[in-house]
Amino acid sequence: FGSANQLLAGLALLSVSVWLMRRGRNYRPTFYPMVFMLIVTLTALASLIRNNLAAQNYVLGVPGVLLFVLAIFLVIETYNVMKDASKSDVKA
């Protein structure tokens, strides 16, 4: 539960960062805490996944894997959006 809660906080910061960037505002005050939050949370989640799957505790391990994969997917999609937004800023 703790990892999911922290992951939601990181993803909220990620959403705000993208929103600020697309509006042409300073997104750095939310971007850097988001990077830190996601790195720490995903590292902790990976550790929990490893420990739970090693102990054959699939009730906690499988949802952890799903959360991890979905979070990575959102980070990749956000990277693509931010990359496209920065390219359009350069052209303007």
Q: What is the pLDDT along the chain (92 residues), one digit of tens a residue?
A: 678 899 899 989 999 998 998 898 999 999 999 999 999 999 999 999 999 999 999 999 999 999 999 999 988 998 898 888 777 665 54
Measured in Å, how far apart are the chain's first and last C-alpha atoms? Answer: 44
Domain residue ranges in the chain:
2-91
Rounded distance between C-alpha atoms, residue 65 and residue 82, angstroms:
26
Which residues lie closer than 8 Å to 72 by C-beta, 6 or more apart? 42
pLDDT given for residue 58 in this prediction = 95
Rounded distance between C-alpha atoms, residue 27 and residue 50, angstroms:
34
Rounded distance between C-alpha atoms, residue 41 and residue 90, angstroms:
33
